[in-house]
């Protein structure tokens, strides 16, 4: 007589043994190489707040490995400094690597829970991402191109022409105005619009609060429970202040849309689309506000940083600027402004823009990924609950892919005939710059045309020249960038944007110089 359940037990054991063996085998794999840490704190004290991406790149070179392991207060951190590794893990195994680590500064203190790029890989993130792609996609790009053209021609170029020394603020305000129009559908003053001011303050707060590793509380979350009156907790007051700034922008722009709708002066926009019930599901106002704020923040930051980097590159490399202008002039002629349809005839300018993304990655350390299950890759164990850092700077400064990476060379992206190469090992526009896998930036297809038309239009109308000192000599510029923020933005540099003498610039802009609103 058989013992009841014995066959069932045998089946269970047959299933469990291989699983236990696999678990044991995985546990037997070594961790990736990395610096030895101290007990309890691990490597926390050796990771700098400033220029962390450069530190991680140097660390990769030191250990001779493109994948590294660090630890901070028991938190495993996996560093990726290779594009192929990034693709293998974050794209091909995206189901495992698409979450985000919980960042107490931005989520618990600043309350930025409605910005979906910060959310873990859950239903809320899927819902927000679905809403985003419902309104923005490659198919809808033509809908927004007239707005892009308006803000470049009616805002950016006239403002630089009339107030050239303030070119940096014009870039931020006009690109910001563009994304306000796309997102909220309201008209913007060409100069000194109060909505631009409150929005820029909010963006500065968001990018500062979301910088990976900047705040100790993100490494040691228990600090969020320490009373704010105790020494070392100034981050809590700062976070609350930034939270109020972000909320002020979110509410002000939404109310501007409501008022414009009331008086019949609103244009097609993301907010109006969802408020008018165009989605198949009922969308709470808080979700609409959060989605709109993310579109504005991501669109302005990525595009303005790239355009400022482009101007810096043109200043540092007058020979490249000259060649790009010659190509533009051969396509545009004497007195025409660039259009989107011209891009296919401008391979050198396209290569320059790819070089901009490579030379100064917008988000040099990437936005952290997170895995909630253990994995094995190339013989290394990746522990459960690891933070995954895809170091864009390390990938785009890899000497084996880009020889002499510190040099700006558009020719990297051209073939022998001067056309855009179709055999690029790493294309910064298509890879790395906008992230990996399911967490890649869904708005990249909109940011790229804005950068193209902005860069082409500036070159078509202005010479980018060094500022002169008291003796009339050019001031040498040494590139410097923000070092403790989510993005890498050029710090202010002396530069002159002077109307081209070989072009009738005033005539080209005469229809736009006296506009008050866009």
Residue 89: pLDDT above 70? yes
Q: Is 48 helix (H, G, I), strand (E, B) or coil?
A: coil
Residue 17: pLDDT above 60? no
Residue of 31, 46, 34 lying closest to 70 (CA atoms): 34
Q: Is 379 helix (H, G, I), strand (E, B) or coil?
A: coil
Higher pLDDT, 343 or 20: 343
Residue 10: pLDDT above 90? no
Domain contains 19: no
Domain contains 305: yes
Mean pLDDT to the nearest integer, 180-199: 93
Domain contains 238: yes
Q: Indicate the pairing of strand 75-80 with strand 386-390.
A: parallel
Higher pLDDT, 433 or 10: 433
**C-beta neighbour count of 162 within 10 angstroms:** 13
How does residue 138 score in pLDDT terms, banded at 50, 70 and 90? Answer: confident
* Structure confidence by residue, pLDDT tens digits, 190-223: 988 999 999 999 999 999 999 888 898 998 888 9
Extract the annotated binding site for heme.
441
d(CA 440, CA 156): 29
Helix, strand, coil % in the chain, rounded to nearest 5: 55, 10, 35
Residue 456: both structure tokens together: 């082409």
Mean pLDDT to the nearest integer, 329-350: 97
pLDDT at 213: 80
pLDDT at 232: 86
CATH code at position 277? 1.10.630.10
d(CA 337, CA 329): 10
Residue of 160, 173, 152 lying closest to 497 (CA atoms): 160
Extract the annotated binding site.
441
| Residue tagged 């790395």 (tokens) | 432
If you average pLDDT over each of 24-38, 227-241, 313-327, which comes out highest?
313-327
DSSP state, 223?
A: G
Residue of 81, 47, 49, 68 lying closest to 366 (CA atoms): 81
Q: Which helix (H) or strand (E) holds 167?
A: helix 167-184
**How many domains are there within the chain?**
1
d(CA 218, CA 209): 10
The alpha carbon dihedral of 48, 395, 303, 170 has a sign of positive
Mean pLDDT to the nearest integer, 65-91: 96
Residue of 247, 340, 326, 320 lying closest to 289 (CA atoms): 247
Higher pLDDT, 484 or 403: 403
The alpha carbon dihedral of 264, 270, 275, 276 has a sign of positive
How does residue 305 score in pLDDT terms, banded at 50, 70 and 90? Answer: very high
Range of the domain at 319: 26-474+498-509
Domain contains 104: yes
Domain contains 8: no
Terminal-to-terminal C-alpha distance of the chain: 89
Domain contains 139: yes
Residue 281: pLDDT above 80? no
pLDDT at 31: 98
Domain contains 20: no
Domain contains 516: no
pLDDT at 388: 98
Mean pLDDT to the nearest integer, 303-322: 98
Residue 429 near residue 311 (C-beta atoms within 8 A) = no
Residue 468: both structure tokens together: 């002169």
């Amino acid at each position: 007589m058989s013992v009841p359940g014995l066959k069932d037990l045998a089946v269970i054991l047959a299933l469990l043994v291989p699983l236990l063996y696999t678990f044991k085998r995985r546990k037997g794999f070594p961790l990736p190489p990395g610096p030895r840490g101290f007990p309890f704190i691990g490597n926390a004290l050796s990771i700098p707040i400033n220029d962390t991406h450069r530190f991680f790149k140097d660390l990769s070179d030191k250990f001779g490995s493109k994948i590294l392991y660090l630890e901070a207060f028991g938190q495993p951190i996996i560093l990726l400094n290779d594009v192929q590794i990034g693709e293998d893990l974050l794209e091909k195994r995206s189901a495992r690597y698409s979450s985000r680590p919980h960042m107490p500064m931005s989520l618990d203190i600043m309350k930025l829970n409605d910005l979906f790029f910060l959310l873990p890989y859950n239903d809320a993130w899927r819902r927000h991402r679905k809403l985003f792609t419902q309104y923005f996609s490659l198919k809808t790009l033509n809908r927004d191109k007239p707005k892009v053209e308006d803000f470049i021609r009616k805002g950016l170029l006239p403002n630089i022409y009339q107030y050239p020394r303030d070119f940096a603020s014009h870039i931020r305000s006009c690109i910001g105005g563009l994304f306000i129009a796309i997102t909220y559908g309201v008209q913007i003053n060409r100069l000194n619009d109060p909505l631009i001011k409150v929005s820029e303050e909010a963006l500065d707060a968001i990018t500062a609060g979301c910088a990976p590793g900047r705040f100790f509380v993100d490494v040691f979350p228990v600090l969020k429970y320490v009373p704010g009156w105790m020494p070392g907790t100034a981050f809590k007051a700062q976070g609350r202040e930034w939270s109020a700034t972000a909320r002020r922008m979110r509410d002000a722009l939404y109310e501007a849309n409501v008022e414009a709708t009331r008086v019949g002066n609103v244009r097609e926009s993301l907010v109006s689309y969802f408020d008018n019930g165009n989605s198949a599901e009922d969308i709470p106002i808080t979700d609409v506000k959060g989605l709109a704020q993310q579109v504005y923040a991501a669109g302005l930051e990525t595009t303005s940083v790239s355009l400022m980097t482009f101007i810096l590159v043109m200043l540092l490399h007058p020979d490249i600027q000259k060649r790009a202008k010659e190509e533009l002039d051969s396509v545009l002629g004497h007195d025409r402004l660039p259009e989107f349809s011209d891009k296919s005839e401008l391979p050198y300018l396209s290569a320059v823009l790819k070089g901009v993304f490579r030379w100064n990655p917008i988000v040099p350390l990437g936005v952290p990924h997170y895995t909630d299950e253990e994995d094995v890759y190339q013989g290394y164990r990746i522990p459960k609950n690891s933070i995954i850092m895809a170091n864009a700077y390390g990938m785009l400064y890899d000497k084996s892919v880009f020889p002499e990476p510190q040099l700006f060379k558009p020719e990297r992206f051209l073939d022998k005939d001067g056309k855009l190469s179709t055999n690029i090992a790493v294309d910064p526009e298509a890879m790395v710059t906008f992230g990996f896998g399911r967490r890649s930036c869904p708005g990249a297809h909109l940011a790229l045309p804005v950068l193209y038309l902005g860069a082409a239009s500036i070159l078509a109308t202005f010479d980018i020249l060094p500022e002169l000192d008291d003796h009339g000599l050019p001031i040498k510029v040494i590139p410097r960038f923000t070092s403790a923020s989510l993005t890498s933005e050029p710090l202010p540099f002396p530069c002159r944007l002077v109307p081209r003498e070989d072009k009738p610039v005033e005539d080209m802009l005469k229809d736009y110089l006296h506009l008050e609103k866009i």
